[in-house]
Structure 1
Amino acid sequence: MSHVGVGPRAITRAVAFLTAGALAVTALAGCTSEDDSGKPLAGQDIAAAARSRVADGGTLRWAVDSVPETLNTFQSDADATSSRVAQAVLPSMYRMDARGRPVRNPDYLESAEVVDTEPKQVVVYRLHQEAVWSDGREIGAADFAAQWRALSGRDSAYWTARNAGYDRIEKIERGAGDLEVKVTFSRRYADWKSLFTPLYPKDVMGTPDSFNDGARRRLKVTAGPFAVEKVDTKKDEIVLARNPRWWGRPAKLNEIVLRAVPRDKRASELAAGRLDLAEIDPDTAEEVALAAGPRDTAPSSGAPLMGPEDRQSAADALRSWAVANGSDEEAAEKEAQAREKRRKAVARAQRREQALRGFEVRRSLEPAYTQLALNGADGPLADERVRRAVARTLDRRELAELVLKPLGLPAEPVGSHLALAGQPVYADSSGALGGPDTKEARALLADAGWVPGGPVEQPEKGEKAAGSEGDKREGGKDGEDGEKSPGGDDGTYIVGEDDKDDQGKNDKDTHDKDTHGKNDDGKNDEQGRSDQESGEKRAGGKNTAQGGSAPGAYAPKGTAAPAGSAVAPPAKDGKALTLRFVLPSGPGSGVLRTVADRISGMLDAVGIRTEITKVSDASYFKDHIASGQYDLALYSWPASAFPATDARPIYAKPVPAADGSLNIAQNYTRVGTDQVDQLFDQALTTLDEEEARDLLRKADSRIWAQAGSIPLYQRPQLVAARTNLANAGAFAFETPVYEDMGFLKKGAQGARPPVSPSS
């Protein structure tokens, strides 16, 4: 799922889908230069075009993951489509620019500034003089005040998902005139620009009933270039129509139809002409790209995409013809039927290719990153030394290249938990943990009491080994030595030292070829059936490869391993070091599983075994990540323009609740320290942007040192768009400008920026 929020801020930093330890932080980010933030690794790819080249009218049919349960983005069941609707129909005081920074939205806000800091922080907003709601009422202080009261957390009758920032407001008043809003804070708040984006009318925020229920399936009053015309649950779509009361540049499109389409159905819907814009998986992107031909050149020459007939060799084709025209009537009839079936399949492939020639793939990097999460609540990973050992086995650059290089996207590992390259807070603080070093990893394990080749207690006959639930086999024909077993969709298998060659070096070429992906956290945004199947084979399924030279093939049972290939597994208190690696099993999570296989191979270099368990997408986050039923997991976080506010609950130290439970907020790794909390709190209260940046970079260094989560790579974004659709596609950091989207006038050309670092 996508987690890119409205304007400059994520609606909630939730997925899709306890101690500092003995090792001191060796490096802290203390540089005050913004140069450390670098440039965005990839810019927008939206076929940008001047409005004069865009035709008036038309309907944009845009695929989304779901029709949301609510249009109120401040409720817990809001999703990415809720945010997309809000961006098009509601006021936003600030937007996100090309570097992931908040910038004033001039359509709503003429100015906003801190006018006082003593004794209280006071911000004065001066609204656009033409800004009105769709019912004709001016946008003003009453709307700001209603939203503050609803989100302040003081009235539990409002079912809010968050109140960060609003809980620091003391009062809201009308300023010198109707267009001024004066906000007084009870405590200093550095991220005040995060507030009132989106801004809902007082009709929605004014009472608990209207907040809880009034904006779930409709928004009667709006104030954007578009308005919500209808939410059609039968057709699974939301229709946004041009707002006649919009005072800004008029929308080029008449309508935007957001239609829920499963990702594995989007290629067919594109080919059928029922979509104009859709985020797609790598396999669909390859199909669209092949049909379209090289970018900025003529479409493909007319050769059809590879179909059943194309996969026949010349000898097979000749043999087929001979059988179909031979004297054996029964064989001839069967072959003729098979040839006709292949002919129809080729014809379908040709028609599909022809239909897809009107599309192109627009690609960039999402403002979100995938991480490896290490659950520090209990088990081996409760020891920071073990977490650090795991982290020191990872080659993060190799993992980034595994996912991004096949897509032609910059393959740089992410160096911060709190920002992405190009954002002001970004600095590569991974040096606080250190790079890949198996020697150091082994030393850390030894220091934690994990002895290489130490004695391991064998379970008594009939006793289940740890983690043997589900489809895992601990012996017998299927499981062999208990380390390789078939893994169905909700299965488990163990990757150990015997899998080293397969999981590590030998599969590298295969992974590089098969992984084109985008994933993430249960977002289901890439196809990976072939990766999943190959992963299951490597994990102990039947090996169908012929001969011993196939990458990933197993030697016959009993064959001696190459000298030096086996690594004695570390053991402690009679138990080998085995970590539960939980992954989603859906067809859109193939890249996650491929990345997990590669990580398992890296861990095996120091003898750490991984017990890989695949679970349904629906239960992955709720039943495993949020509830702490895992050791290792892969999921994503969005980048935020306001990390002091949005990242604090992700890395805050868990605290005991009144009922005896542990309040973890959004810290699903359960790893945190008082020192990190203090740095976040200081950054939240300083109005000096440079000081806040340095404090957050220090916090990030300490988060790296804790090794609770290891950022891996920025997520790719692949979008299929009609070639004549302008100002829409892979948006990267920037907030979409809905009023500029539309179809080019006949003969007009869009100006597409390259996918490269932007200024």
Structure 2
Amino acid sequence: MSHDHRVGSRAVTRSAAFLAAGLLTVPLLTACGEKDAAGRPLAGQDTAPASRGRIADGGTLRWAVDAVPETFNTFQADTDATTSRVAQAVLPSLYRLDANGRPERNADYLESAKVVDREPKQVVVYRLHQQAVWSDGREIGAADFAAQWRALSGRDSAYWTARNAGYDRIQKVERGASDLEVRVTFGRPYADWKSLFSPLYPKQVTGTPDSFNDGARRKLKVTAGPFALQGVDRESGEVTLVRSPRWWGRTAKLQRLVLRAVPRDERLKALLKREVDLAEVDPDQARRISLAGRSGGQALTRGPGAGLTPAAALRSWAVAHGSDEAAADEETDARHRLRAARARYAAQQSALRGYTVRKSLEPASTQLALNGSEGPLADERVRRAVARALHREELAGLVLTPLGLPAEPVGSHLALSGQAAYADGSGALGDEDTEEAEALLADAGWVRGGAVKAGKTGKTGKTGAGGARKARPGRTADDAEGPEDSEDSEGSEDDDGTYIVGEDDKPGVGEAGAPRTGRRPDDDVARRLVRNDRQSARERAQQGGAPGAYAPKGTAAPAGAPDGPVVKDGKELVLRFVLPSGPGSGTLRVVGERISRMLARVGIRTRTTKVPDDSYFTDHVANGQYDLALYSWPATAYPATDARPVYAKPVPAADGSLSIEQNFTRLGTDQVDQLFDQAAATLDEDEAVSLIRKADARIWAMAGSIPLYQRPQLMAARTDLANAGAFGLRTPVYEDMGFLKKPPAPAPPRRP
């Protein structure tokens, strides 16, 4: 699982839950004849754009990635982000995404692509670039299109494919009027036809099951892009791409592009050693790089001894020069160590001066997922109460404001601002409103002040009376009794401890402005994030919000109702909140803590369990072992195709189990499925957009997942690197990347 737990675009399982969608009122959304609701991207690219004339010819760009890919076939199940990067640089993509995250024709491969017939069959004609050839000299043509269609159509189980959406609708692929024309006839209409054949593999890869399954896993002998795959060194963790001599487009400025596997917690070290030129970094690393650039690399406003006051320095000097020889020796050694640490830190900051931080918003959004398959969250009113308790603007600001990025919540499950299908559909659920949340809970039978039966704290075990508490490693929270279990510590970052947050945990202000939560934030990122932009519950409650579906405004629990957790049938409402514990997940943990406190205000307690990163998704989210979880979904320009598995209604599988595809909240409706199917089948783009927006409004109303914020994209880049960095929604243009030419040396002064 990658940083911040992004979910890939394909998956394998399904489950079921009941949802009374017929009781919900959804606002009417239209796309035709009205102002476009898609807007603009919240943040643009930050890539240090430069004309090709300013870029030197040659050079090697070393780009840090998460891992060397297991396969170079993007249509296999174990593909990853590095697989996609390689494919973008070495293979044809008929369409790529523009700055708004919308598909645009790639003129290096396509002269045109049009739907020439709609009835009785949809027919698309592709006219290829006259010079488009594979690296072996063969023309790109219908044989490659046909081989890829047959491999991905799903008709031959010998091909190990992870997805066949769209290809399964094709009836035939044939040569057109010339070798440069390809006619694709669809058996069923397909709105997202632009998503097909990107990337396009040569028929040598897709022509047989053996070549498809194994031939492209470790190598790509035949390519057709500005770069070619030279080799893979798995021992050193490097993938090397070289400038392709067969490329007919603009010649790549770089001679080599090396994708180097560097763990995220080791990237600052790699930057200090000048081992990489471009690397995605976490917020704390980004701040240190930015500080080096502002301070010239020398000022020790942070780092060893940065908090040493003049009085403390004077005391240290006095002890080092005092009459107590043992104390003086110890203090002198400490002063020497501090000076050495300061010197190392200053040298490191000087080394970081060669880098800058380029930032944008990633084409992915972080969401709070609510597992609706069992327990209290199987009741839609409880899910909606959770959603109405959240102040999404505050959560977005918590993450994005300290980074100088737009702190606007994501308003759609299916698109990001700027993309054609985007519209803010959150009105179907309503804004934060604690009174509405309490009313929804009361309507579901969860009320404050009820008697709690001994041992009854919902399905997650007893909480005790101490508010936030954490079980020691190796012990369950049920065993965590006694004062020793209330330590103000959270353990190491790979600790998988458990603690409870409830109404007893009143936010206070502790050291350096951090909230007193009964536990210490476990990294510097957390400490900085928790200081950002607080707003009291009273101020937020005064803002109000849209009424809920079951309990209109004014039907909340009686004024003056007692504080404390909500109770039903003698049980407190306690939700299992699972969060990752790895070093790259500090932001998620801080967001999770803030969510827990928002829920506590309406009487919902959370049992938060930190689990190792490698098991967080597979063992908990995908298996349904959670009530609440945080993870990210990538954006797509083709939501009718790519987002449908994420929100499809679970159905019985052949073995009697329930198949959930990628719907890890296990909630869905026939109506949402039908809207996706209709959007995928219409060739009217405006109608397709309208259908997707309607589907999104109904997904909001289910309250199975709550989009929070668009993920920050922070890239450390060499200061002389151009046309590379934080790409935002746009597909990188690899042939334009390179290093700026060095300015000419000044002429020597003339002698008199």
* Equivalence for 2:500: 494
For the Cα contact (< 8 Å) 1:375–1:670, is it kept in 2?
A: yes
Residue 23 of structure 1 and its aligned partner are, at CA, apart by: 3.4
* Partner SS for 1:614: strand
CA distance in 2, matches of 1:424, 1:22: 28
Q: Which amino acid aligns with 1:705?
A: A
* Equivalence for 1:196: 197
1:569-608 matches, within 5 Å, as 569-608=565-604
Q: Which amino acid aligns with 2:272?
A: A
1:223-622 matches, within 5 Å, as 223-293=224-294, 300=296, 302-304=298-300, 306-459=302-455, 465=461, 470-472=475-477, 476-478=481-483, 489-502=495-508, 510=514, 529-530=523-524, 567-622=563-618
* Equivalence for 2:555: none
Residue 25 of structure 1 and its aligned partner are, at CA, apart by: 2.1
- In the superposition, relative to structure 1, how do residues 208 and 652 fare at CA in structure 2: closer, same or farther (>3 Å)? same
Aligned partner of 1:666 among 647, 662, 669: 662
For the Cα contact (< 8 Å) 1:11–1:74, is it kept in 2?
A: no
After superposition, the C-alpha distances for 1:115-163 in whole angstroms (9 at most, x for unaligned) are 1111110001011111111111111111111111111111111111110
* Equivalence for 2:537: none
CA distance in 2, matches of 1:530, 1:253: 37
For the Cα contact (< 8 Å) 1:115–1:122, is it kept in 2?
A: yes
Q: Which amino acid aligns with 1:584?
A: P
* Partner SS for 1:216: coil
* Equivalence for 1:559: none
Note the residue ranges of structure 2 that are not aligned, 5 or more in a row: 13-17, 464-470, 531-558, 745-752
Q: Which amino acid aligns with 2:333?
A: Q
Aligned partner of 1:684 among 646, 671, 680: 680
CA distance in 2, matches of 1:198, 1:78: 13
CA distance in 1, matches of 2:308, 2:318: 14
- In the superposition, relative to structure 1, how do residues 352 and 653 fare at CA in structure 2: closer, same or farther (>3 Å)? same
CA distance in 2, matches of 1:213, 1:227: 19
After superposition, the C-alpha distances for 1:718-752 in whole angstroms (9 at most, x for unaligned) are 0000110000000001110100000000139xxxx
* Equivalence for 2:219: 218
CA distance in 1, matches of 2:376, 2:242: 55
CA distance in 1, matches of 2:622, 2:297: 51
* Equivalence for 1:52: 53
Q: Which amino acid aligns with 1:494?
A: I
Q: Which amino acid aligns with 2:75?
A: F
- In the superposition, relative to structure 1, how do residues 117 and 673 fare at CA in structure 2: closer, same or farther (>3 Å)? same
* Equivalence for 1:24: 24
CA distance in 2, matches of 1:252, 1:565: 69
- In the superposition, relative to structure 1, how do residues 531 and 203 fare at CA in structure 2: closer, same or farther (>3 Å)? same
Q: Which amino acid aligns with 1:472?
A: A
CA distance in 1, matches of 2:571, 2:231: 59
Q: Which amino acid aligns with 2:676?
A: F
CA distance in 1, matches of 2:511, 2:730: 37
For the Cα contact (< 8 Å) 2:354–2:719, is it kept in 1?
A: yes
Q: Which amino acid aligns with 1:606?
A: V
For the Cα contact (< 8 Å) 1:479–1:485, is it kept in 2?
A: no
For the Cα contact (< 8 Å) 2:447–2:568, is it kept in 1?
A: yes
* Equivalence for 1:522: none
- In the superposition, relative to structure 1, how do residues 708 and 142 fare at CA in structure 2: closer, same or farther (>3 Å)? same
For the Cα contact (< 8 Å) 1:511–1:594, is it kept in 2?
A: no
For the Cα contact (< 8 Å) 1:13–1:637, is it kept in 2?
A: no
After superposition, the C-alpha distances for 1:2-50 in whole angstroms (9 at most, x for unaligned) are 699xxxxx972569xx323463124232243352111110000000000
CA distance in 2, matches of 1:736, 1:437: 41
Residue 470 of structure 1 and its aligned partner are, at CA, apart by: 4.7
Q: Which amino acid aligns with 1:108?
A: Y
For the Cα contact (< 8 Å) 2:676–2:691, is it kept in 1?
A: yes
TM-score by length of 2: 0.88
Note the residue ranges of structure 1 that are not aligned, 5 or more in a row: 5-9, 294-298, 513-526, 537-562, 749-759
- In the superposition, relative to structure 1, how do residues 66 and 34 fare at CA in structure 2: closer, same or farther (>3 Å)? farther
For the Cα contact (< 8 Å) 2:47–2:358, is it kept in 1?
A: yes
After superposition, the C-alpha distances for 1:183-228 in whole angstroms (9 at most, x for unaligned) are 0000000000000000111111111111111111111111110111
Residue 272 of structure 1 and its aligned partner are, at CA, apart by: 1.1
CA distance in 1, matches of 2:337, 2:483: 37
- In the superposition, relative to structure 1, how do residues 511 and 676 fare at CA in structure 2: closer, same or farther (>3 Å)? farther
Q: Which amino acid aligns with 2:194?
A: K
TM-score by length of 1: 0.87
CA distance in 2, matches of 1:303, 1:401: 29
After superposition, the C-alpha distances for 1:564-618 in whole angstroms (9 at most, x for unaligned) are 8972322222211110000001011111011111111111111000010111100
- In the superposition, relative to structure 1, how do residues 303 and 509 fare at CA in structure 2: closer, same or farther (>3 Å)? closer
Q: Which amino acid aligns with 2:514?
A: T
- In the superposition, relative to structure 1, how do residues 452 and 324 fare at CA in structure 2: closer, same or farther (>3 Å)? closer
- In the superposition, relative to structure 1, how do residues 564 and 288 fare at CA in structure 2: closer, same or farther (>3 Å)? farther
For the Cα contact (< 8 Å) 2:109–2:128, is it kept in 1?
A: yes
- In the superposition, relative to structure 1, how do residues 490 and 679 fare at CA in structure 2: closer, same or farther (>3 Å)? same
CA distance in 1, matches of 2:152, 2:8: 13
After superposition, the C-alpha distances for 1:496-540 in whole angstroms (9 at most, x for unaligned) are 1111335xx88995379xxxxxxxxxxxxxx9624679999xxxx
RMSD value, Cα: 2.7
Residue 471 of structure 1 and its aligned partner are, at CA, apart by: 4.1
Number of residue-to-residue matches in the alignment: 692
* Equivalence for 1:164: 165
- In the superposition, relative to structure 1, how do residues 726 and 669 fare at CA in structure 2: closer, same or farther (>3 Å)? same
* Partner SS for 1:349: helix
Deviates more, 1:265-274 or 1:394-403: 265-274
After superposition, the C-alpha distances for 1:350-400 in whole angstroms (9 at most, x for unaligned) are 110111111100000001100000001111111111110110101100000
For the Cα contact (< 8 Å) 1:486–1:493, is it kept in 2?
A: no
* Partner SS for 2:500: strand
CA distance in 1, matches of 2:39, 2:446: 40
* Partner SS for 2:406: coil
For the Cα contact (< 8 Å) 1:34–1:424, is it kept in 2?
A: no
* Partner SS for 1:213: helix
* Equivalence for 2:547: none
After superposition, the C-alpha distances for 1:633-675 in whole angstroms (9 at most, x for unaligned) are 0001111100000111101100011211111010000010000
CA distance in 2, matches of 1:487, 1:335: 30
- In the superposition, relative to structure 1, how do residues 164 and 432 fare at CA in structure 2: closer, same or farther (>3 Å)? same
- In the superposition, relative to structure 1, how do residues 435 and 180 fare at CA in structure 2: closer, same or farther (>3 Å)? same
Q: Which amino acid aligns with 1:51?
A: R
CA distance in 2, matches of 1:417, 1:191: 18
For the Cα contact (< 8 Å) 1:100–1:423, is it kept in 2?
A: yes
Residue 472 of structure 1 and its aligned partner are, at CA, apart by: 2.2
Residue 335 of structure 1 and its aligned partner are, at CA, apart by: 2.0
CA distance in 2, matches of 1:307, 1:52: 41
Q: Which amino acid aligns with 1:261?
A: V
